[in-house]
Amino acid sequence: MNSLVLHGGASNKSELRIKVEEFADIAFKEKNALNAVVKAVVLMEDDPLFNAGTGSNMRLDGSIQMDAAVMVPGKFGAVINIENVRNPVLVARDVMLKSPHLILAGDGAIEFARKMGYESYDPSTEKARTKRERILKKLKNGGIPEYYHPEFFLEFLGDTVGAVARINGDFAAAVSTGGTSLTLRGRVGDSPIPGAGIYCGEKGAVVATGIGEEIIKRMLSINVYNRIGEMPLEEICKEELERFGDIPVGIIAIDKESECALSNLTMPYAIKKE
């Protein structure tokens, strides 16, 4: 049975729940798993409501650096801290399919994108500028609360977008993020790290979202993947989430028979299946 799961990051905005449902309907029309997850992520990258592509956050210095990754069994591609492109996930797919490498970063990722035909694109928006200004004002006033506080996370830190799919027996996963406003230039989260923010193999596909540093330390996605078959998928995800306590985190996952989307924070998601 064909299935697609996508999430729009940590958000309590009702309009995002509507958007992910719409985007899931569109992406599920694709004929293979890789195209479906990439299409879903591209749609979210192009919508400024999401923290990816055009909706990306500005860092403290005002720059926008984005991460994205795609994975299918036996293949992986990612870009880290790429700038001035519209759809980082498409560049990540080209790294996987059209280069001898797995990950390209910074200037090298940008140069590769240009060689692949991606034009220069400024993803900055008034929303991103306003969020950065609010963060800087809070920093000056000493008003930044504890970093992992859920309300602070929802208001300022932003999140990834991602998708997993099983189509005609094949699995695929894709993620993209515009990072967080309260970070230094050059920071890398979990999204482009295989095993942390994304993993896909012959048993299924997993994508994580939340506080990237904590997800990397716990290698959340590979932990979920390695346990597939041990118990129902939703129970596996629930147990892995519990390891994080109240640290904001979410998971979408798919195996040969089931799908799940769980978070200890508000997370708009959609599940499509035949």
Residue 186 falls within a domain, yes or no?
Answer: yes
Residue 236 falls within a domain, yes or no?
Answer: yes
Q: Which pLDDT band holds residue 263 (cuts at 50, 70, 90)?
A: very high
Residues in CB range of 252: below 8 A, 6 or more apart: 5, 6, 7, 162, 163, 164, 206, 207, 209, 259, 260, 261, 269
Residue 183 falls within a domain, yes or no?
Answer: yes
Residue 118 falls within a domain, yes or no?
Answer: no
Per-residue pLDDT at 80 exceeds 60? yes
The percentage of the chain sitting over the pLDDT mark of 90, rounded to a whole number, equals 77
The percentage of the chain sitting over the pLDDT mark of 70, rounded to a whole number, equals 93
Mean pLDDT value of segment 97-110: 98
Residue 72 falls within a domain, yes or no?
Answer: no
Asked whether residue 18 is marked as a ligand-binding residue, the answer is no
* Amino acid in position 134: R
Per-residue pLDDT at 150 exceeds 80? no
pLDDT in tens, 13-45: 778 899 999 999 999 999 999 999 999 999 999
Tokens of 248: 């904001």
**How confident is the model at residue 244, as a pLDDT?**
93
pLDDT in tens, 179-195: 887 788 999 999 999 99
**How confident is the model at residue 152, as a pLDDT?**
57
Domain count, the chain: 1
Strand ranges across the sheet with 259-263: 198-201, 204-210, 249-255, 259-263
> Tell me, what CATH number does 170's domain have?
3.60.20.30
**How confident is the model at residue 141, as a pLDDT?**
78
Tokens of 2: 């064909």
**How confident is the model at residue 76, as a pLDDT?**
98
Residue 239 falls within a domain, yes or no?
Answer: yes
> Looking up tokens 């799940």, which residue turns up?
260
Contact status, residue 268 vs residue 11, Cβ threshold 8 Å: yes
Asked whether residue 158 is marked as a ligand-binding residue, the answer is no
**How confident is the model at residue 257, as a pLDDT?**
95
Residue 119 falls within a domain, yes or no?
Answer: no
Residue 94 falls within a domain, yes or no?
Answer: no
Element (H, E) at 207: strand 204-210
Q: Which pLDDT band holds residue 107 (cuts at 50, 70, 90)?
A: very high
CA distance to 104, 173, 255, per residue, from 100 (Å): 11, 20, 29
Asked whether residue 190 is marked as a ligand-binding residue, the answer is yes
Domain that holds residue 26: 3-62+124-273
Contact status, residue 7 vs residue 259, Cβ threshold 8 Å: no
Per-residue pLDDT at 55 exceeds 90? yes
**Three-class SS of residue 79?**
strand
Asked whether residue 197 is marked as a ligand-binding residue, the answer is no
Asked whether residue 212 is marked as a ligand-binding residue, the answer is yes
Question: 49: how many CB neighbours lie within 10 A of its CB?
Answer: 16
Q: Phi and psi dihedrals of 157, rounded to 5?
A: -80, -25
From 160, 177, 180, 183, active-site residue? 160
Contact status, residue 273 vs residue 5, Cβ threshold 8 Å: no
Element (H, E) at 3: strand 3-7
Asked whether residue 61 is marked as a ligand-binding residue, the answer is no
Q: How far apart are CA 141 and CA 188, in angstroms?
A: 27
Question: 123: how many CB neighbours lie within 10 A of its CB?
Answer: 23
pLDDT in tens, 214-250: 999 999 999 999 999 999 999 999 999 999 998 889 9
**How confident is the model at residue 10, as a pLDDT?**
74
Q: Is 160 among the catalytic positions?
A: yes
